[in-house]
């Protein structure tokens, strides 16, 4: 813990607190009682109580950090999250608006040369999409060697956290939410971008009932070369990645995003990913070759026709899926109308959280489930088709095992000779 004088000097150097406000806090501290050794901590608490500092800022100042609190004219308030190579902070713009700032620390840029290239690419791609259901990039810059972009701050709760806190969404609620997601995704596709990382943590539920698609960090532009991929690295999130993206990230197209959206819709309605558990190899195998448990078995409240729609989205061959976000929207929007879908409006509402973010989730989750409207085009597959696919999967497993045994045998021969 620094001395009182050291901490007060740190506060002054940071430019976070005006000289007048710091003097008032010091006078209030002198008038109060408390152990001298804890004076710096008590001053920090006073500045937090008065709104002059956030708890995050005070902790940094107590450790001697006096720089990095301002970027692009915005005042950094607190951390929001961390990605593979970047950090995201909540900040206040000069006009008082709250924004999010994504930062690539100089140390990470130096450790991994590709990190800066990826960050700059994300900056470029994120400015190509302008749609209410896609988080906006407001500005970019570099200060003192720190690369950053200023983004729209999206309050609320991610789909992942909403489902983990309160359980699966009702059919109507899920349809309404994902129709808005599809509007944003369609805008990204129209701008020539493939997201490549659609998943529950990248979809936000806002307090006004909107959906926001986040994070273009892994996106690629159609017709442009992707950044080189190190050998053995998977681009995407294994619980939601399409089979073709596992094999070749540059081959991912609009239908790859729709596969990931299908896995995400499965999560929203079942409360778990379609291929839960297992190690990296197991997940890759399942995404490539296996089918998930039927959604209406994972959650009996899901109508069979909607489960069939999700199954179509998760088809292993891209040509067997919906071909565009707009086409999928046309099939999904019918489930968003409670009257048309036959939703039960008398279902009890879940208990509401006392915080605003919890209320957002409750608003979505309070929607009832739906009866199944007819959907002949998405009728469940015949029993014979399932039996043939099961046999195909068995043969694939045998082939994989034989290939592995052949590799081991070759290694053994090499060692013996």
What residues does each domain of the chain span?
A: 4-62, 70-152, 157-380, 383-417
Contact predicate 369/344, CB 8 Å: yes
pLDDT reported for residue 380: 37
The maximal CA–CA distance of the chain, rounded, in angstroms, is: 85
Which uninterrupted H or E stretch holds 308? Answer: helix 304-313
pLDDT reported for residue 82: 81
Q: pTM, whole model, 2 decimals?
A: 0.76
pLDDT reported for residue 109: 66
In three-state secondary structure terms, 130 is: coil
Task: Choose, from 183, 186, 197, 253, the residue flagged as catalytic.
Answer: 197
**Pairwise CA distance, residues 211 & 200, whole Å:** 11
Residue segments in the chain with a per-residue pLDDT below the cut of 70: 33-37, 84, 109-113, 225-233, 339-417
pLDDT reported for residue 222: 79
Closest CA to 152 of 183, 118, 129: 129
Check if 117 is active-site: no
Contact predicate 128/220, CB 8 Å: no
pLDDT reported for residue 417: 47
Please tell me the CATH code under which domain 70-152 is placed: 3.30.200.20
**Pairwise CA distance, residues 406 & 402, whole Å:** 6
Closest CA to 321 of 258, 266, 227, 401: 258
Which uninterrupted H or E stretch holds 80? Answer: strand 74-82
Residues composing the chain: 417
Q: Residues with Cβ < 8 Å from 271, sequence gap 6 or more?
A: 163, 167, 168, 299
Contact predicate 316/396, CB 8 Å: no
pLDDT reported for residue 308: 95
Task: Quick: pLDDT tens for 346-380.
Answer: 333 333 333 444 444 444 444 433 333 333 333 33
**Pairwise CA distance, residues 116 & 104, whole Å:** 8
**Pairwise CA distance, residues 253 & 260, whole Å:** 11
Task: Quick: pLDDT tens for 64-115.
Answer: 999 999 999 999 999 998 876 789 999 999 999 999 999 988 777 666 667 7
Superfamily of domain 157-380 in CATH is: Transferase(Phosphotransferase) domain 1 (1.10.510.10)
Contact predicate 252/189, CB 8 Å: no
**Pairwise CA distance, residues 126 & 129, whole Å:** 6
- Which residues on neighbouring strands pair with residue 150, listed in sequence order? 101, 139
pLDDT reported for residue 393: 57
């Amino acid at each position: 813990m620094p001395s009182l004088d050291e901490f007060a000097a740190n506060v002054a150097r940071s430019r976070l607190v005006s000289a007048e406000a710091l003097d008032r806090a010091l006078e209030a501290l002198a008038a109060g009682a408390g152990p001298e050794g804890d004076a710096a901590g008590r001053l920090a608490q006073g500045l937090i109580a008065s709104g002059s500092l956030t708890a995050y800022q005070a902790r940094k100042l107590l450790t001697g950090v006096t720089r990095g609190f301002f970027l692009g004219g915005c005042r950094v308030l607190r951390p929001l999250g961390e990605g593979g190579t970047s950090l995201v902070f909540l900040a206040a713009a000069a006009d008082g608006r709250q924004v999010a700032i994504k930062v690539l620390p100089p140390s990470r840029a130096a450790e991994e040369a590709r990190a800066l290239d990826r960050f700059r690419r994300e900056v470029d791609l994120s400015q190509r999409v302008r749609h209410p259901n896609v988080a906006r990039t407001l500005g970019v810059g570099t200060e003192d060697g720190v690369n950053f972009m200023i983004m729209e701050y999206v309050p609320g709760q991610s789909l992942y956290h909403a489902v983990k806190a309160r359980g699966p969404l009702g059919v109507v609620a899920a349809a309404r939410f994902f129709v808005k997601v599809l509007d944003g995704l369609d805008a990204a596709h129209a701008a020539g971008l493939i997201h490549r990382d659609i998943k529950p943590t990248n979809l936000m539920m806002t307090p006004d009932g909107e959906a926001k698609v986040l994070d273009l960090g892994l996106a690629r532009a159609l017709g442009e070369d992707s950044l080189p991929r190190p050998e053995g690295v998977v681009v995407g999130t294994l619980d939601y990645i399409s089979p073709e993206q596992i094999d070749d990230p540059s081959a991912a197209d609009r239908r790859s995003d729709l596969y990931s959206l299908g896995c995400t819709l499965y999560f929203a309605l079942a409360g778990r990913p379609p291929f839960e558990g297992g190690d990296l190899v197991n997940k890759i195998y399942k995404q490539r070759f296996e089918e998930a448990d039927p959604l209406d078995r994972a959650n009996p409240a899901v109508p069979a026709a909607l489960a069939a729609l999700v199954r179509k989205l998760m088809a292993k061959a891209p040509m067997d899926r919906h071909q565009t976000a707009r086409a999928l929207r046309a099939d999904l929007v019918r489930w968003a109308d409670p009257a048309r879908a036959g939703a039960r409006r008398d279902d009890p509402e879940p208990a509401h959280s006392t915080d605003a973010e919890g209320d957002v989730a409750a608003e979505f989750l309070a929607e009832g489930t739906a009866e199944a409207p007819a959907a002949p085009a998405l009728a469940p597959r015949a029993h014979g088709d399932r039996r043939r696919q099961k046999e195909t999967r068995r043969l694939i497993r045998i082939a994989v095992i034989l290939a592995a045994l052949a590799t081991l045998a070759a290694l053994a021969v090499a060692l013996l000779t």
